[in-house]
Amino acid sequence: MIGNLLGNRYEIVSRLGGGGMAVVYKARDTLLNRRVTVKVLRSEFTSDDEFVSRFRREAQAVAKLSHPNIVSIYDVGQEDDIHYIVMEYIEGRNLKEIIREQGRLPVNQAVDIARQICDGLQDAHENGIVHRDVKPHNILVMDNGRVKVTDFGIAQMMSSVTVTDSSTIVGSVHYFSPEQAKGETTGVKSDIYSVGVVLYEMLTGKVPFEGETPIAVALKHINSEPVPPGRLNPGISPELERIILKAMHKDVTMRYMNAGDMARDLKRLINGDAGGETRVMDADEFATRVMSGPVVITGDKKEDDSKALRRKKKKRVRPVATILVVALLGLLAGIGYIWVSDFLNVPEIVVPDVVNIPWEEADQQLRAQNLDVKTRMVFDPEVESGYVISQDPPADTRVKENTVVELLVSKGAEFITVPNVVRKEKTAAEIEVTNAGFEVSFSEEFDDEAETGTVIEQTPAGDTEARKGSTVKLVISKGPEPSPVEVPDITGISLKDARARLEEAELTLSSDITQEESREYLSGYVVRQDPQAGTELQKGDPVKIVLSTGPGPEEKTVRVEVTMPADGLTHQLQIVVSDVVGERVAFGPAELNSGELFSQLVTYYEKGTIRVYIDDFQVPYEELPVN
């Protein structure tokens, strides 16, 4: 691509990088003489209507936006199989590169970057656009500190259906929201969640959730709470931590209503305005300090004499009442002594072992020992329904009569509904089944109809009942079963012809083309191929070639003389040359008279052959060297 001129206007200067969908180049707008960025859809996706549509949707969605914190789109075009978008060129780096280099960012810098991201997203949201892939890689930081949000490659118009396609989960696993992980409806609050994750990473130097697989990370977004960022970075104030965790709340109703609200809270932090919920606390607000004691309010006058007399006055107890009280206390003491004595003298019983026996039998055994029974039923996949799982107190414990023994009795395995995930993409299916309470196992099969990577069969079937925690087996499509094709011989032909011959054989020409000097083949012709002709490959597999840079074989000119048969008839003469260029007609077909002598100079390359035909019959002839 370097040096190409797209749209007769944009000269490709150098490559800047690339993502899963496109390659990004630095270019020069020759019409306006300014630097631009050109994003070119990868060639392997140009035949995929879905990718082309998504790529064009980025331009259509963002071109209507005009905000200092969003990369501007200038143009969109197509040239042959090349689909491209022309956008504003940003002098700076993406946020991920800055985090990798610095680790934790200074608090003020991180807060200001997050505030600018929110400002840009708020403008996009107000225009009906949800980014759906907010991550540090898509945040460009200019040399002057200005932040630009870019790569609306999977943005989706809010006015259209916003449920994540059942066949795919779009986004970056470390940054997407719980609702994206579940494949549910996404909106502006999904972007807010992602901004919270980005701010978390800027301040701590790490993402909130890590895992060995993308699925493990996605499930943590759904089920796990992040470590409060203040524990990882003491410089994070309580109010800043509150902003991050509010943005990352798993319940969408508990997040910020919009990106503008989050931007305002962040701006108040930057400006030191501590109004409302985001009040900035002084560092020493919770430090130990001397506090004044309670204030005692007293009157200036002496207490009223009558009040003092009433306080000092004591009631007198009559002798009869005193006697009655003493008698009553004595009676109660006697009763208490008798009750305590009876209790202390209750016979002790050894609790029998009733675990792993039917509940009715356990109840009879315990009651036969003058013990009370309390039963609690729970699901248990290991213990048969109606059998005792555990007992409290345990077996062989000495207790008093009438002690309550609590039995935990199995209700058997819990059966729940298996979600139907047939025709869903593997990742989305795994998340849905795991979230429903099942384990997942995979196998793969070829399928001529199902898209590669989607579920074609599940056991147990969807919408049936199965034991909670059991394994749901998913069969994943590997696409149509490949059929082997034979590699054609493409040596000695031009690059164009080689590509056409490979396409005819349902193979592709590898982009890894090398060149070398050759005296056997003309410049631009195939010298060698890998694999060799006759080898079996799968449809669509690439074939590598080596092209000649010349000088190729030398030309050779000879005189061909032919005498027509002397039979009185008219005959047709044709001369055919075969050499490194291929087979071509050097003369004829033309009618000549009986006995006529024909002479012709014929040019061909070394190692070529010349064939002469009279009336479709090849005849011998003599090549005469030209002096």
As a whole number of angstroms, the distance between CA 240 and CA 260 comes to: 16
As a whole number of angstroms, the distance between CA 547 and CA 522 comes to: 9
Those residues with Cβ within 8 angstroms of residue 25's Cβ, 6 or more apart along the chain or in another chain: 1, 2, 12, 13, 14, 15, 16, 37, 38, 39, 40
Q: 597-605 and 622-625 as β-strands: parallel, antiparallel, unpaired?
A: unpaired
Q: Which of 577, 579, 602, 584 is nearest to 525 (CA)?
A: 579
Residue ranges in 411-550 assigned as alpha helix (H):
426-435, 495-504
Side-chain-side CA neighbours of residue 109 (13 Å): 14
As a whole number of angstroms, the distance between CA 486 and CA 533 comes to: 7
- Which helix (H) or strand (E) is 41 found in, with range? strand 34-41
As a whole number of angstroms, the distance between CA 116 and CA 121 comes to: 9
Those residues with Cβ within 8 angstroms of residue 47's Cβ, 6 or more apart along the chain or in another chain: none
3-state secondary structure of 608: coil
- Give the phi and the psi of residue 39 in degrees, each rounded to 5: -105, 120
Contact 546, 596 (CB under 8 A): no
Instruction: Please tell me which residue in 29, 123, 133, 363 is annotated as part of the active site.
Output: 133
As a whole number of angstroms, the distance between CA 234 and CA 222 comes to: 27
* Other beta carbons less than 10 A from residue 557's beta carbon: 10
As a whole number of angstroms, the distance between CA 627 and CA 625 comes to: 6
Known active-site residue 133: yes
Residue 502 identity: L
Contact 203, 233 (CB under 8 A): yes
Please spell the DSSP secondary structure of 232-274, one letter per residue.
H-TTS-HHHHHHHHHHT-SSGGGS-SSHHHHHHHHHHHHHT--
* Other beta carbons less than 10 A from residue 303's beta carbon: 9
Q: Which of 97, 129, 88, 134 is nearest to 114 (CA)?
A: 134
Active site residues: 133
